[in-house]
Structure formats: C-alpha cells, structure tokens
Amino acid sequence: MTVEAFDRVQLDGTGIDRITEAEVVAVVREALAHGRGGRILTPNIDILRRAQRDDECRRHLADADLIVADGMPLVWASRLSGTPLPERVAGSSLIWSLSAGLGRDGRSIFVLGGAPATGSTADGATRAADRLLADCPGLRLAGTVCPPYGFDSDPLTYAEVCAKVFEARPDLVFVGLGYPRQERVITRLRADLPRTWFLGCGAAVNFVAGDIGRAPRWMQRTGLEWAHRLSTEPRRLARRYLKHDAPYALRLLAQAPAQRARIR
C-alpha cells in the first residue's frame, strides 16, 4: 500500500487524502520496510483556514506525504460536497495506532514535546514515551526531548534539540509542539533524516502523558472535541476557536453543497 494509492479530496483548495487511520498505519509500515520516510500533516479547521492566507502553511501542506482530516467539520464538508472522506484521522489517535503498528515491526519512536519536569515528576515527553512503550509490545524508544519554552528563538538550543533527534536515528518522530512550531521543526529535521517518518501531533503528547484529559468519545464522534478543549484552556483557545475557526467552519459547510453541484 503506497501513498499514491489514495485520492485527495479538495476542501477550500487544500487536498485531504481519502484514507482511514488503519490505512495510514499500513502506509507508514510499508514505507519504512522499504527505507522510505515521510511526513504526516493533520489539518483541522484552523490549519485549513490558515492555508487560505499563509504561505508557510501552504508550504507545509505541499511537503506532506499524507494529509489527513483531524476534525469532523472537514469530514462533514467532504460529504456535503459529494466527495466523502472515510473518517476523521486525528493526531491524538495516530500517536497510539502508529506506535502499536511500529511495535509489531520492532521499530523505534522519538517523542519531542510535552510539559517540563516538575519536582520529582519526569517531563511530559518521557512520561508519554513510557506509556506508549508499556502499551505497545515490541516498540523501541530512540529518545525523548522536552525543549524549554522559546527554544526555537535560541539558535544554539534549537540546534541541540535537532541534533538529539538526528543522532537517535528513529523510525518515527512524534512532534507535539503545537502548530506551526512543530511543522517548522519537522521541516528542519526531514532533510537529515530521509528514512524517518514525522507526525506533528499537537497536544497528543500531553494527552498520552496524562497532563491534559482528552474529550469523551461521544464528543470526539460528534465533532464537539473543540468544546472540551475550550473548556480546559479557555484563555489560550477562546479567541482562535470562537472568533476565527467557528465562522470559517460555518462558511466551509455552507459552501460545500455548491461544490457538489459543480461536480455533477
């Protein structure tokens, strides 16, 4: 199973692969078996909105080998437009399914991100990695890094973080630094690690580490996970979710039937 086997659905000018989570895992495992690396990008409404006006965002999307829909509004819009995506494929789920898949092949992961250590408690990257290894038999750990806040503004610290990943030569790197910081790090690392896969997974490292609780499954299925996130981090997310993302999501859904008519 190869990346080329899947069609891309166009949503407001952004191509999204018509692929399931299980198929993503199969593609990554097969690519690694043949010595090929890659990049998975999981756009949600916010990234789709940014792609309309942000050149850097479009470059990240253009560089991705797999682009999957991390958000039910994207799935709904694809259905209304007559080109349905099979399911939501969230980074917070992929961190588990990819780890399980790579464990079956005895492959390694590197976890980058998470909350800093406090007192006797290990940092979030270490705790997330420990949990993934405990739950995914056969999985190996290449390393972890929990960089300090603002590390990417210090060239020396940034270079040291990237060097640790490069020296570990992992099969897969989970980068949980939030968008767009995580994608910038991935872009920097890809050139030196052509046989490695990368997933920018946002808050997934914090979810796995247990520092942030993920929404109940019924909220994930019904597209209300954003409401749960908003309730847990209102100061950080309120402006983005309510002022920018919600109106854009409504416009995307309203425009989708017109695209369906054009296809016909």
The pLDDT of residue 53: 93
Tell me the per-residue pLDDT of 121-131, one tens digit each, with 9 for 90 and over.
Answer: 899 999 999 99
Residues 185, 245, 228, 43: is their CA dihedral positive or negative?
negative
Per-residue pLDDT of 81-102, as tens digits, reads: 999 999 999 999 999 999 999 9
Indicate the pLDDT class of residue 247, thresholds 50, 70 and 90: confident
- pLDDT on residue 1: 63
Per-residue pLDDT at 227: 66
Under the banding of pLDDT at 50, 70 and 90, the label for residue 226 is: low
Give residue-wise pLDDT tens across range 153-190.
Answer: 999 999 999 999 999 999 999 999 999 999 999 999 99
Instruction: Mean pLDDT check: name the lowest of 169-183, 184-198, 209-223.
Output: 209-223
| Mean pLDDT value across residues 107-117 | 94
Identify the pLDDT of residue 205: 96
Q: Which has the higher per-residue pLDDT, 22 or 235? A: 22
Q: How far apart are CA 25 and CA 227, in angstroms?
A: 28
Query: Which DSSP string do the residues of 153-211 spell out, in sequence order?
Result: GSHHHHHHHHHHHHHH--SEEEEES-TTHHHHHHHHHHTT-TT-EEEE-TTHHHHHHTS
Is the confidence at residue 5, as pLDDT, over 80?
Answer: no
**Structural domains for the chain:** 3-263 (3.40.50.10700)
Structural tokens at position 219: 């909220």
Q: What percent of the chain has pLDDT over 90?
A: 73
Contact of 102 with 26, CB cutoff 8 Å: no
Higher pLDDT, 210 or 166: 166
C-alpha count within 13 angstroms, C-beta hemisphere, residue 87? 13
pTM score, whole prediction: 0.91
How big is the chain, counted in residues?
A: 264
